[in-house]
Amino acid sequence: MKLSKRRKWIPAGYISSGLLLATVMVTGCGAPDADFRANEAYLTLQENKVGELGTRRESIKQNIEDVLTGLYGTPDEPHLLSVDGLSDVVEIENLQIAAGPTGSIDEAGARRGLYREHCAHCHGITGDGRGPTAEFLNPYPRDYRLGVYKFKSTTGKMPPTRDDLKKTLVEGIPGTAMPSFRLLNGFELDALVDYVRYLSIRGETERALIDYAVELEDDQNVLWNIADEAQQTEAKEAVEEMVADVVAKYVAAHDNRIPVPAPPENWETAESIARGRELFAGPIANCIKCHGLTALGDGVVNDYDDWTKEFFDPNAPGGRETFAELYGSTHAVMKPRPIRPRNLRMNVFRGGRRPVDLYWRLANGIVGTPMPAVPIKAEDAPEEDPRLVSDDVWHIIAYVRNLPYEDISEPAPLPKYQRKRH
Ligand code: HEC
Ligand code: HEC
């Protein structure tokens, strides 16, 4: 989606550190200044693609930091430029409540600092998933900077809606360290939802800036030089485009929700469960490939999620060396941990256990993980089209929901074409 070209800009340099200090309303006495952490790992990854940046690396880093501060402010004082759509997807009043040091209050005496109080020790101040507790957890806390979310009602890689994120905060993510924040007030949850979006949008912009910066010619090592009027126009337009592209997805998210047809009439009857069992092991859904014939999650178990694979792909040429470089020099990445297919007999569903949650999971897969979407055909598709129909998805759900009640010795029957191999 293209947004209108009319956007107002404040160049990064206007936000001098002196001005910032003067406007900071924070009263968290003695709290050390918090900074956003640069995405060193992604910069190194992109640098490896174009060749050594040498001395330019530091100036690129500094320049990106300046541009990002101009666009989004700091952890204590968030700020948003008036880019079309941005103020609809995140509200500055919400960001102000969520930002700031733990226990701080604003001029009117209202509490701030919610993100650092409740989230940062796992997700990190930057939202890079690298807070102090992170390395002890499995799965790791989410790195929001990729803008990729698992548990949502939107299609493909579209970001989650506000309601999706709110549900994640209210319910937590069962079976992981991510707790429920049910006890917070509605407005506090809204503030945190917007803050997560803000960190994602900032992180995605940073990635786009890195992509752009490493491609610049040697003599163009300043991405957005506010002192140079001529260059400013061109570079500014490029940055505008980047932000607009990121924001557009969030604007579109709500209108791109996964359609959920009603379940068939015989849903969750013995017949429906039996059909689900057959499909689970069948060639199209092929759930047994990863979840195993017993659904205990013991199929393909040596795979990784996208947050890990970006930096550690043991099968890619040089994959292990790249990881060793990132891990060894800057500690900019976490130790890779394989992602396990779920044991479906446990009755623990991270994205929620309502039928509709499971329908979303199957119809869209779990983005960022190996769990694929079930191939679903349109109602009017020809009979011979091998893909499944939505009724089939509901039968698979009936089977999955019944698994915890089932005797373990009742695995799905293998389809004929696979019987010999086992
Ligand atoms: C004790 C550690 C911990 C704390 C505290 C924590 N989280 Fe999480 N969070 C996690 C983990 C672990 C995951 C990843 C779960 C997974 O990948 O299945 C996660 C995932 C998420 C996700 C991604 C959901 C998705 O659909 O992919 C969001 C959003 C999130 N957390 C927001 C928050 C917010 C906001 C707070 C503070 C109010 C918070 N978390 C506090 C550990 C934590
Ligand atoms: C290529 C491997 C793969 C295939 C094929 C696969 N899954 Fe998964 N599945 C996974 C992985 C990995 C996870 C764990 C994702 C995570 O932890 O975030 C998962 C998680 C799940 C979950 C848990 C959702 C939640 O909210 O916790 C369900 C339910 C599920 N799969 C059902 C299925 C069904 C039904 C099929 C067949 C239609 C299927 N899977 C096919 C790999 C796979």
**212-269 pLDDT, tens digit each:** 998 887 766 567 776 677 777 778 888 888 999 999 999 999 999 999 999 999 999 9
Mean pLDDT of all residues in 29-33: 58
- Using the mean position of ligand 1's atoms as its centre, give its distance from the Cα of residue 182 in Å: 14
Higher-pLDDT residue of 84 and 76 is 76
Task: For residue 265, give every residue at least 6 positions away whose Cβ sits within 8 Å of its Cβ, in sequence order, or none.
Answer: none
Tell the residue nearest (CA) to atom 8 of ligand 2: 371
Q: Is the pLDDT of residue 53 over 60?
A: yes
Structure-token match 């940046």, residue found: 53
Q: Residue 129: what residue type?
A: G
Q: Which ligand is nearest to the CA of 138?
A: 1
**100-154 pLDDT, tens digit each:** 999 999 888 888 999 999 999 999 999 999 999 999 999 999 999 999 999 999 9
Looking from the CA of residue 285, the nearest atom of ligand 2 is: 38
- Using the mean position of ligand 1's atoms as its centre, give its distance from the Cα of residue 169 in Å: 8
CA-CA distances (angstroms) from residue 184 to 151, 181, 187, 191, 192? 21, 6, 8, 11, 10
Give the integer Cα–Cα distance in Å for 118 and 189.
11
pLDDT of the residue at 401:
97
pLDDT of the residue at 148:
97
**306-315 pLDDT, tens digit each:** 999 988 887 7
Give the integer Cα–Cα distance in Å for 31 and 26.
10
Residues in contact with ligand 2 (CB, 6 Å cut-off): 150, 285-287, 289-291, 300, 339, 341-342, 344, 349-351, 358, 361-362, 366, 369-372, 374, 396, 400
Best probe residue, ligand 2, of 300, 342, 393 (max atoms within 8 Å of C-beta): 342
Higher-pLDDT residue of 415 and 420 is 415
Q: Residue 195: what residue type?
A: Y
Q: Which ligand is nearest to the CA of 122?
A: 1
Q: Residue 105: what residue type?
A: I
Tell the residue nearest (CA) to atom 5 of ligand 1: 119
Q: Which of 342, 350, 366 is nearest to 156 (CA)?
A: 366
Looking from the CA of residue 349, the nearest atom of ligand 2 is: 27
Average pLDDT score, the chain? 87
pLDDT of the residue at 31:
57
Give the integer Cα–Cα distance in Å for 332 and 92.
30
Enumerate domains of the chain plus CATH numbers. 12-253 (no CATH), 270-303+338-419 (1.10.760.10)
Q: Is the pLDDT of residue 61 over 70?
A: yes
pLDDT of the residue at 50:
87
Q: Is the pLDDT of residue 60 over 60?
A: yes
Structure-token match 């017993």, residue found: 294
Give the Cβ contact number of residue 136 at 10 Å. Answer: 9
Q: Is the pLDDT of residue 396 over 60?
A: yes
Q: Where does the pLDDT of residue 1 fall: very low under 50, low under 70, confident under 90, or very high at 90 and above? A: very low
Q: Where does the pLDDT of residue 55 fall: very low under 50, low under 70, confident under 90, or very high at 90 and above? A: confident
Give the integer Cα–Cα distance in Å for 351 and 258.
15
**360-389 pLDDT, tens digit each:** 999 999 999 999 999 999 888 999 999 999
Best probe residue, ligand 1, of 95, 115, 119, 364 (max atoms within 8 Å of C-beta): 119
How deeply is 232 buried, as exposed, middle or buried, from its count of CB atoms within 10 A (0-12, 13-18, 19+)?
middle
pLDDT of the residue at 319:
77
Give the integer Cα–Cα distance in Å for 77 and 69.
10
pLDDT of the residue at 107:
85
pLDDT of the residue at 409:
66
Does residue 259 have a cis peptide bond before it, meaning omega lies within 30 degrees of 0? no
pTM: 0.90
Task: For residue 238, give every residue at least 6 positions away whose Cβ sits within 8 Å of its Cβ, in sequence order, or none.
Answer: 212
- Using the mean position of ligand 1's atoms as its centre, give its distance from the Cα of residue 229 in Å: 43
Give the integer Cα–Cα distance in Å for 361 and 177.
20
Task: For residue 415, give every residue at least 6 positions away whose Cβ sits within 8 Å of its Cβ, in sequence order, or none.
Answer: 278, 281, 282, 283
pLDDT of the residue at 11:
40
Tell the residue nearest (CA) to atom 42 of ligand 2: 371
pLDDT of the residue at 226:
64
Q: Could you tell me the two tokens for 241?
A: 């485009």
Give the Cβ contact number of residue 249 at 10 Å. Answer: 19
Best probe residue, ligand 2, of 138, 178, 290 (max atoms within 8 Å of C-beta): 290
Q: Where does the pLDDT of residue 351 fall: very low under 50, low under 70, confident under 90, or very high at 90 and above? A: very high
Residues in contact with ligand 1 (CB, 6 Å cut-off): 118-119, 122-123, 133, 137, 139, 141-142, 149-152, 160, 165, 168-169, 173, 176-179, 181, 192, 196, 350
Q: Is the pLDDT of residue 176 over 50?
A: yes
Give the Cβ contact number of residue 150 at 10 Å. Answer: 20
